[in-house]
Amino acid sequence: MNTDWVSDFSGPCDYRVVALRHPLYSLMGSDMKTRIWILIASHVATGIVAFAAGIYVLPILTASEGASAVELQVAADNARHTGRFERGLPGSDPLHWADGKLTITDSSIAFEGNIAPGPDYKIYLVPEFVDTRASFLAIKARAARVGDLKTFGNFVVPLPADVNPAQYTSVVIWCERFSKFISAARYRNATASGQVSM
């Protein structure tokens, strides 16, 4: 029997010391430490995944009902301008996009289509078309924030009284919380001088 792990004692036997020097205990201790770290890492990873999933799922669960066919038809009947959101913009990606028809009236912005869900979406009017995060941030100070986007399908959003869509050319959907470009649609053209054409 190998007793190298047993220390010489001069006095009463201290079983705690003997146990701590046992090679099986040392092996078990290392294994337990590894298991503990694996458990901690797996719980932290699960928490991060759950939090990230919640960021995207919660807006879907709390989304407002989209605009009805009647509301969209009223907007179409009073349209001043139309445009289109497309998925293939440089600043969009598989998780951040919009695809559908845009209608601008004197008093509202209407959309018929689909939008990738996410948190804290805002609708902006901008004086020139942008298709990336960087290009939007470069002109954000000149943009007019129209309102919150609380649905990920058809919507009709009223324009604030002090916002004239004739002073802008495009609509941008933007994630404010994460400073993320979602999509944009042009409804008017700007002249070479930067003025909006009539």
At 177-189, the pLDDT tens digits run 999 999 999 999 9
Please compute, for residue 179, the number of CA atoms within 13 A of its CA located in the half-sphere on the CB side.
Answer: 7
Task: Provide the pLDDT confidence category of residue 146 given band limits of 50, 70 and 90.
Answer: very high
Q: Above 50 in pLDDT, residue 89?
A: yes
Residue 114 vs residues 37, 52, 94, 162: alpha-carbon distances, Å:
43, 22, 13, 28
> Read out DSSP for 60-123?
HHTPPPPPPHHHHHHHHHT-SEEEEE-TT-TT-BTTB-EEEEEEE-SSEEEEEEEE---SSEEE
The share of the chain scoring above pLDDT 90, in percent, equals 60
pTM higher than 0.75 for the full model?
no
Which range, of 39-48, 142-151, 158-167, averages the lowest pLDDT? 39-48
Task: Provide the pLDDT confidence category of residue 198 given band limits of 50, 70 and 90.
Answer: very low
Bridge partners, residue 26, by sequence: none
